[in-house]
C-alpha cells in the first residue's frame, strides 16, 4: 500500500509527488498517456518564476526527474475508478488495483475537439492538436491554426517560424490571448488572421487538403496541408463522479485547500474548479494537496 497515490503526471501531480516524497511518504503516480501533461507540448514557457525561457518538454522532464530521484514511482496505467474502504482507497486500473491511504487527483484536462464528422479520419493525416509534437512535419508548407487563446497564438507563432504560411482562424473579432502574443501575431509577415470565422468542414481524400470556413455570413475554402486545433480543454473526471462532486462542466469541486467532497481525496491543478489555470497555480495546488494528503 502506498501512502499516497497521485492520478496524473502533469505539473500539479509531479509537484505533489515531490512534496510528498520529501515528507517521507511512499508515492505512486498513475499516468495513462505521457509525463508532463499539457505543458509538455508548449514550445516555450516564459511565465514560470525562475525560468526566463524553457520548453514545456524540458520543464516536464526536470519535474519528473526530481520526483523520481526522491523516490516517487510511476506506473503507466489509467485510473478507471476509485473505491473507498476501511484502510483508505483502492484505485482500479486496467492492469490491477493500487491501494493507498490518500489520493490526489491531478488529471488535468484534454484537448477540446471541433466535433466535425471528418475529424477523426484526418487525425494524424493533417489534423493535429499539438503544434510542438507535429509542427516539424509541415516545415515549408501551409498550415492553419484554430483558436484565439494564448495556446493557439503561441502555436501559430511557432509554426510561422518554420512554415511558409499560417492562417489563424478565430470565431471572434478579438483574441483572448496575452497582449504580448497578440502583438507578435500582428507583426508576423506570414501569419494571416481569419477572424469571425469557424471551421465548418475538413476536406481531402487520403489526407487533409483544405478546410471550409464560415465567415461573415458566407463560406470560403482555405487550402492547407495541416490544421492545428487549439480551442481549449475539457475535464476528464467522469470516472470519479461516484466518489467526488463534479460541477456542471465536469471539474472536481475543490477550493484553494484542494479538498474534495470525499475525505482523504484531494484535487490539484486544472482538473478542479478554479478561476486561473496556469503552470504556477498547478504547482501551487500540487504542494497544497500533497501537504494535506500527508496529514491523512
pLDDT in tens, 165-190: 999 999 999 999 999 999 999 999 99
Average pLDDT (14-28) is 98
pLDDT in tens, 148-166: 999 899 999 999 999 999 9
Task: Report how far residue 291's alpha carbon sits from residue 276's, in angstroms, rounded to the nearest whole number.
Answer: 21
Residues in the chain: 296
What DSSP assignment string belongs to the chain? -EEEEEE--BHHHHHHHHHHHHTT--EEEEESS-TBGGGGG-S-B-SSTT-SSB-HHHHHHHHHHHHHHTT-EEEE--EEEEEEETTEEEEEETTEEEEEEEEEE---EEEPP---TTHHHHBTTTEES-HHHHGGGGTTSEEEEE--SHHHHHHHHHHHTTSSEEEEE-SSSS--S-HHHHHHHHH-TTEEEE-SEEEEEEEESSSEEEEEEEETTEEEEEE-SEEEE-S-EEE--GGGTTTS-B-TTS-B---TT-B-SSTTEEE-GGGB--S---HHHHHHHHHHHHHHHHT-
pTM over 0.85: no
pLDDT in tens, 82-140: 999 999 999 999 999 999 999 999 999 888 899 999 999 999 899 998 887 789 899 99
Confidence of residue 43 (pLDDT cuts 50, 70, 90): confident
Average pLDDT (189-202) is 97
Looking at residue 130, its pLDDT comes to 85
**Residue scoring higher pLDDT (38 or 158):** 158
What domains are there in the chain, each with its CATH number?
A: 2-110+233-294 (3.50.50.60), 113-229 (3.50.50.60)
- The grid cell for 133 is 509534437
Active-site residue numbers? Answer: 130, 133-134
Q: Does the structure show a pLDDT above 80 at 42?
A: no
pLDDT in tens, 204-250: 999 999 999 999 889 999 999 999 999 988 898 999 999 999 999 99
Taking alpha carbons only, the member of 263, 268, 274, 295 closest to residue 29 is 268
Looking at residue 111, its pLDDT comes to 83
Average pLDDT (186-201) is 97
Amino acid at each position: 500500500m502506498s501512502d499516497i497515490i497521485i492520478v496524473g503526471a502533469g505539473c500539479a501531480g509531479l509537484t505533489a509527488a515531490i512534496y510528498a516524497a520529501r515528507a517521507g511518504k511512499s508515492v505512486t503516480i498513475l499516468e495513462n498517456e505521457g509525463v508532463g501533461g499539457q505543458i509538455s507540448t508548449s514550445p516555450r514557457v516564459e511565465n514560470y518564476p525562475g525560468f526566463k525561457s524553457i520548453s514545456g518538454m524540458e520543464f516536464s522532464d526536470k519535474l519528473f526527474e526530481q520526483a523520481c530521484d526522491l523516490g516517487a514511482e510511476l506506473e503507466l496505467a489509467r485510473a478507471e475508478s476509485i473505491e473507498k474502504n476501511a484502510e483508505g482507497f483502492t484505485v482500479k486500473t486496467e492492469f490491477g488495483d493500487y491501494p493507498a491511504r490518500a489520493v490526489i487527483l491531478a488529471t488535468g484536462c484534454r484537448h477540446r475537439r471541433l466535433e466535425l464528422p471528418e475529424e477523426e479520419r484526418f487525425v494524424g493525416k493533417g489534423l493535429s492538436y499539438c503544434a510542438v509534437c507535429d509542427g516539424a512535419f509541415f516545415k515549408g508548407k501551409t498550415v492553419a491554426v484554430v483558436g484565439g487563446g494564448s495556446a493557439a497564438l503561441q502555436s501559430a507563432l511557432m509554426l510561422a517560424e518554420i512554415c511558409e504560411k499560417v492562417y489563424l482562424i478565430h470565431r471572434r473579432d478579438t483574441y483572448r490571448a496575452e497582449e504580448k502574443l497578440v502583438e507578435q501575431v500582428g507583426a508576423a509577415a506570414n501569419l494571416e488572421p481569419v477572424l469571425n470565422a469557424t471551421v465548418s468542414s475538413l476536406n481531402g481524400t487520403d489526407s487533409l487538403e483544405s478546410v471550409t470556413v464560415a465567415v461573415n455570413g458566407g463560406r470560403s475554402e482555405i487550402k492547407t496541408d495541416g490544421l492545428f486545433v487549439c480551442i481549449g480543454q475539457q475535464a476528464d473526471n467522469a470516472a470519479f463522479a461516484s466518489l467526488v462532486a463534479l460541477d456542471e462542466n465536469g471539474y472536481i469541486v475543490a477550493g484553494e485547500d484542494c479538498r474534495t467532497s470525499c475525505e482523504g481525496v484531494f484535487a490539484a491543478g486544472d482538473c478542479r474548479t478554479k478561476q486561473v489555470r496556469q503552470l504556477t497555480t498547478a504547482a501551487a495546488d500540487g504542494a497544497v494537496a500533497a501537504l494535506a494528503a500527508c496529514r491523512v
